[in-house]
Amino acid sequence: MFTFKKLSVFFFGLMVLMSGCGGGGDSSEVSTSQTVSLTGVVQLGRIAGATVEIYRVEKDGNLTLMWTETTTTGNSLEEIGNFNAHKEELEDETYYLYRAIGGQDWDADDDGVMDSNPVKNRGTLRLIAKGKDIKGADIIRITYVSEIVYEKTARYLKYSFNPATFEQKLNEAIEPVIGDINGDGVVDTKDVIGFNPVENKDSLKGLYAYKLKEIINAIHSGAYVLNSPDINHLLGSVDTPGYPRSVVISPDGNIAYVADGIEGLQVIDISDPLNPFIIATVGTTDSANAVFLSGDTVYIAAGYSGLQIVDVSQPENPQVIRSIDIQGYAMDVFVKGDTAYVVDTVNGIKKIDLINSQITTLYNSNLSKGVTLSADGNIVYVADGSNGLTIINQSTSQTYSIKTGSTATSVVLSPDETIAYIANGAGGLAIIDISDPDNLSILSIVKFRGIARGVYLVDNTVYVTSEGSNLKIINVSDPANPVIISSIFTPGIPQDVAVLPDKKLAFVVGYNAGLQVIDVSDLVNPQIIASLDTPGSADELVLSADGSKAYVADVGSGLQIIDISDPLNPEIISSLDTENVYSLALSPDEKKVYVASGFYFHVIDIAYIKIPRIIGSVETKTNSNSTALGVALSTDGQTAYVANYGGGLLSIDVSEPTNPQIIGSVGTSGNAFKVTLSPDGSIAYVCEKSNGLQIVDIFYPSLPRIISSVETDKSTLDAAVSISGEIIYIADGRLKIVDVSDPLNPRVVSTVDTPGGANGIALSPDESIAYVADGRSGLQVIDVSDPANPRIIATIPTHGYAQEVALSPDGSMAYIAESGFGLQIIDVVLFK
């Protein structure tokens, strides 16, 4: 029977047929013609009316449009979504890119049954493959799998494309996504081409299997998979009643044992990573600080309750076997055979005979935090707080130590026991050569914001948790040159981490967050195209007008001038070590930099850019508490405005750069932190740590006056003004959009909550996108084309703590000042 639904589909198809398709290159106009072989399929579900562009990838990576097609409509799924793939016209060794745009998805849930009504597809699906692989397939399918693989490899196509090595990059990208579809024993492009979303979804791996629904929804909405805010690495979580500090995982990967502070031991079923749940609790009379699993027994370092031993042969029914009073405070525990080694923060390392409960003090220290042992049980390695790493040879009673420059909190060893990896408090990760105890040496330090607490090693990958930061994942295949490969946002205050041996799942525990299950099977972040560490803590940056240089306020290390003309290879040109540089502004002729430097405002001559030098200064310490933290420059370059923390807003005449003079000031009710000017230079917007945004009339620079204010819930950290001057975007831990067309009566239009805490803002050239430096959550990309209805459209993780952001003149690159990590360069249009 010809139903109404089929009738509507028929007319839709007739309209597409009448409008024609094809064009470009040598393509003839084709649709459902019986004389054309329709060997391509666009399939989320099957998509009707999608435009398919077919490009040849030239040897330099440029694209040449060859053909344009439109996918078919029809009365059944088999008739929908087909197109002429031009297989027979392809060259074997040439790469081709298929790009499918828009259309209507008639099987949005991929169940193989045609939906009653289609879902509009606002997104793009792409497939990149060699001609011979495309020609070798009966049907080529452009799917979410091919899109994921394209996004993962887009940087290699855009930057320094090499046809000889691109196939390897493709295969590396494919392996974590799907299994062997065609059964040839190899996971490669042929499997991507042949992937059928209805029949082969069980072959998806890891994150892509867990987040399939979110992936399809993201594409439908027009988002890209790898930076969609809804597709993150967090799979599941379970809150715990206490403050979790330590976690171990059972060998089968089904149970997590969590030391949950004053709430004791939590036994958690993690067999379904999406839905972990507590199955049992064991109370401790004091704080459960650490857990160690040996066979069917859990050992708990339980504060002043000493060592508690629990039988977990039946995880759902754990039984306390006994407790051992250590006459101190148990912070950590490691068990080898019938001996337990307990970190006693009062008396040092206690060695306990588990047969007769005899206790001896192996090492006296009240600074120790963590402990581990060599495989033979003879050597004890102590994360010894400010003492660094302490090594105890039990057979010789010799002790060795090395300072780590901070507070060593936990330690793990490489399999060959020649390298120790130390979670080093505020000092990040310390990597130490322990092959010769008489000559211990630090091989490298990986610094990042926060207090490193937990460390875990699998193969050549180290996982570090850090209070105030994210889960850091670090490649240590070369211990002297470790590389951060990913930084994954975790809620709460992370304390410890455990990782499955196959490196697919990590389990993080933290205050106010319980247990988090995180997929770490695929850590690609292709949009970060380069990073450059700076000596201090990068807090702010401005770019030259041509986008070739970045000027960075590097707290603790002064001004850093960086060549970014080649975004893939940024290099520090020069630096000037002042007492501190918190904020900076560039003169219109780009021959001077004006810096807010604590108690001083400096004018720095950069005419000879390799040798910057201070040519003028003025003290800004108007009272004992004031500190210059922010600076903005008038459009004519004659007046600088300084946000003087504790001292309001200062107007400084810089018409004579060698002799800057304070000519005006106005006290503000909070603590001035940053300052931004209106396009016409008549208004200063002063961001305050404790009292919102102050709007200051600076028409007369010598007589600034507050005319209105905007209340914010938190500290106002940054502001960006539209070209018209009528809208201001405020970072106050969130993004707040304010109508300031009438400066006397500012009006909040909308607010967007950001996951990490908005710190800095930059607007795209057309002002449709706000890029927000969002602390631990990296870079948030927010559509503000409708200021009343802003929405986060992408999240791009960064390696550190995103403090400030600036855009290249064409809006294609975002430059992030990362507190504690330096400069990160992100291609924000890579997937377009």
The continuous run of DSSP H or E covering 717 comes out as none
Strands (E), 570-682: 571-576, 583-586, 592-597, 600-605, 613-619, 627-633, 639-645, 648-653, 661-666, 672-677
The rounded distance, in Å, linking the Cα atoms of 80 and 42 is 9
State both tokens at 460. Answer: 């050549």
The mean-pLDDT minimum among 32-46, 548-562, 632-646, 698-712 falls in: 32-46
The residue with tokens 């390298």 is: 419
How confident is the model over 749-795, as pLDDT tens digits? 999 999 988 999 999 999 999 999 999 899 999 999 999 999 999 99
Proportion of the chain above pLDDT 90, given as a percent: 84
342 or 19, higher pLDDT: 342
Q: Give yes or no for residue 32 having a pLDDT over 90.
A: no
Q: Return the DSSP state at 398.
A: E
* The pLDDT of residue 36: 62
Q: What angle do CA 158, 164, 165 make, to 5 degrees?
A: 65
Mean pLDDT, the chain, rounded, equals: 92
How confident is the model over 250-273, as pLDDT tens digits? 999 999 999 999 999 999 999 999
* Nearby residues of 4 by Cβ (< 8 Å), 6 or more positions away: none
The rounded distance, in Å, linking the Cα atoms of 778 and 790 is 18
The CA-atom distances, in angstroms, between 172 and each of 166, 547, 827 are 10, 33, 21
The residue with tokens 């923060």 is: 345
Dihedral of CA atoms 82, 84, 87, 89 in degrees, nearest 10, equals -170
Work out the average pLDDT over 216-226.
95
Q: Give yes or no for residue 628 having a pLDDT over 80.
A: yes
* The pLDDT of residue 33: 37
* The pLDDT of residue 672: 92
The pLDDT confidence band at residue 580, using thresholds 50, 70 and 90, is confident
Work out the average pLDDT over 620-627.
84
* The pLDDT of residue 788: 96
* The pLDDT of residue 613: 96
How confident is the model over 432-485, as pLDDT tens digits? 999 999 999 999 999 888 899 999 999 999 999 988 778 999 999 999 999 998
The rounded distance, in Å, linking the Cα atoms of 547 and 570 is 12
The CA-atom distances, in angstroms, between 432 and each of 418, 443, 481 are 8, 5, 12
Return phi, psi of residue 34, to 5°: -75, -15
Sheet holding 558-563, edge to edge: 537-543, 549-555, 558-563, 571-576
The rounded distance, in Å, linking the Cα atoms of 542 and 708 is 28
553: β partners: 540, 559
The rounded distance, in Å, linking the Cα atoms of 656 and 647 is 24
The rounded distance, in Å, linking the Cα atoms of 641 and 686 is 10
* The pLDDT of residue 625: 79
Q: Return the DSSP state at 261.
A: B
Interhelix angle 212-221/144-158, rounded to 10 degrees, is: 70
* Nearby residues of 375 by Cβ (< 8 Å), 6 or more positions away: 417
Task: Single out the residue of 730, 798, 826, 796 nearest to residue 449, CA to CA.
Answer: 798
* The pLDDT of residue 799: 85
Whole-model pTM: value is 0.88
The rounded distance, in Å, linking the Cα atoms of 320 and 126 is 57
* The pLDDT of residue 106: 96
State both tokens at 170. Answer: 């493709």
Indicate left, alpha or beta for 678 from its phi (over 0: left) and psi (-120 to 50: alpha): beta
DSSP helix/strand/coil, 16: helix
How confident is the model over 677-725, as pLDDT tens digits? 999 999 999 999 877 899 999 999 999 999 999 988 788 899 999 999 9
Burial class (CB in 10 A: 0-12, 13-18, 19+), 204: buried
The rounded distance, in Å, linking the Cα atoms of 600 and 15 is 70
Interhelix angle 163-174/144-158, rounded to 10 degrees, is: 140
